[in-house]
């Protein structure tokens, strides 16, 4: 009887152990399944988020490629300001891709297609900057700043072709992963252009030629003149006249300017000063003030002249004023 009871206890223990082991296996299996499901859900979310960002970026890059190629091949019909605006917009657009590429690096996917696209985008930004800088320099326009260690124009175009081809062979890598993501190919229109020939055509277009255009934008006189007819300076009694002139560069090129101020008294005395400055593209500049000696009751002429500029309708390069300083005691 003792043996039978011992046998039953051992059998019961084995059953209990078997049940515990079965329960552990079931719980473990459920946790593994839940973990796998959670992992798949996480990967699905990451893949779809990356797909959204990447699709937007790829669309922008392909649109940029088309726009750049169109500007290079048909831009000769534009006016210089129109061409400059489009070139500036392209320059700003491509610079923004660096930030997008940096954000795209994390989290790292499996396969790490986000890292691949991020690295390719950074390379292509440098390549496009090289092309834009080449165009800007040839036409004396503002463009992206490139380093001396950057690629040559030819190397940049070859790189654009290489990254487009490489991405084309890798863009399907997430098709078998959660989300079944397949991304667009990269176009390569700009990489195949004969850019030197296209730019030479642009540079020879008369409407894209750089022309000088600087105007007198403001003249300040102290003491402030009394109200008077146009081109007349009527001053209160004084022994000095302080003059400051501001000029504006109306073109997208740097332009040197020479400013002459001449005070000619009715008695024949002449006071003259000439100042020079190089204006950055599309900027204004105020020359330093200059003081002229005058006296009560003096009459004469005062002229402000921008030297060496071609005449152009509506552009003021010279102004001559009749000067009259009131006698002492007059209002």
Do 71 and 179 belong together in one domain? Answer: yes
| pTM for the structure as a whole | 0.67
Do 178 and 231 belong together in one domain? Answer: no
Q: Tens digit of pLDDT for each residue in 214-229?
A: 999 999 999 999 999 9
Q: Which residue has the higher pLDDT, 79 or 52?
A: 79
Tell me whether strands 232-235 and 284-286 are parallel, antiparallel or unpaired. Answer: unpaired
Do 134 and 242 belong together in one domain? Answer: no
Residue 5 lies in a domain: no
Number of H helices, E strands in the chain: 5, 9
Separation of alpha carbons 105 and 114, rounded Å: 6
Q: CB of 120 within 8 A of CB of 166?
A: yes
Separation of alpha carbons 206 and 259, rounded Å: 29
Separation of alpha carbons 282 and 296, rounded Å: 41
Residue 44 lies in a domain: no
Residue 247 above 50 pLDDT? yes
Give me the domain span that covers residue 237: 214-325
Separation of alpha carbons 94 and 91, rounded Å: 6
Residue 14 above 60 pLDDT? no
Long-range contacts of 78-86 (CB under 8 A, 24+ apart): 78/207, 78/208, 79/207, 79/208, 80/207, 80/208, 80/209, 80/210, 80/211, 80/251, 80/252, 81/252, 83/139, 83/141, 83/202, 83/208, 84/141, 84/142, 84/252
Residue 20 above 60 pLDDT? no
Do 141 and 222 belong together in one domain? Answer: no
Tell me, what CATH number does 257's domain have? Answer: 2.60.40.10
């Amino acid at each position: 009887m003792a043996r039978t009871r011992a046998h039953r206890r051992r059998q019961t223990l084995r059953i209990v152990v078997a049940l515990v082991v079965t329960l552990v296996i079931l719980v473990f299996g459920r946790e593994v399944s839940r973990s796998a499901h959670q992992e798949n859900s996480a990967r699905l979310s990451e893949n779809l988020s990356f797909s959204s960002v990447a699709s937007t970026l790829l669309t922008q890059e392909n649109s940029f490629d088309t726009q750049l190629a169109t500007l290079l091949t048909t831009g000769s019909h534009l006016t210089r300001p129109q061409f400059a605006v489009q070139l500036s917009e392209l320059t700003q657009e491509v610079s923004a891709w660096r930030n997008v590429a940096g954000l795209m690096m994390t989290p790292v996917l499996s396969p790490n297609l986000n890292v691949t696209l991020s690295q390719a985008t950074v390379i292509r930004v440098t390549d496009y900057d090289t092309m834009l800088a080449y165009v800007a320099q040839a036409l004396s326009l503002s463009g992206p700043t490139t380093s001396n260690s950057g690629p040559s124009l030819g190397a940049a175009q070859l790189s654009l072709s290489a990254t487009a081809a490489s991405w084309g062979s890798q863009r399907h890598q997430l098709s078998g992963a959660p989300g079944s993501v397949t991304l667009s190919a990269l176009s390569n229109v700009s990489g195949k252009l004969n850019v030197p020939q296209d730019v030479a055509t642009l540079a020879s277009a008369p409407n894209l030629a750089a022309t000088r255009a600087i105007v007198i934008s403001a003249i300040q006189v102290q003491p402030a003149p009394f109200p008077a007819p146009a081109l007349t300076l009527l001053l209160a009694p004084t022994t000095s006249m302080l003059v400051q002139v501001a000029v504006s560069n109306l073109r997208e090129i740097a332009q040197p300017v020479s400013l002459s101020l001449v005070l000619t008294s009715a008695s024949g005395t002449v006071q003259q000063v000439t100042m020079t400055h190089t204006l950055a593209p599309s900027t204004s500049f105020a020359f330093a003030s200059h003081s002229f000696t005058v006296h009560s009751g003096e009459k004469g002429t005062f002229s402000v002249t921008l030297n060496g500029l071609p005449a152009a309708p509506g552009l003021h390069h010279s102004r001559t004023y009749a000067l009259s300083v009131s006698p002492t005691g007059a209002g």
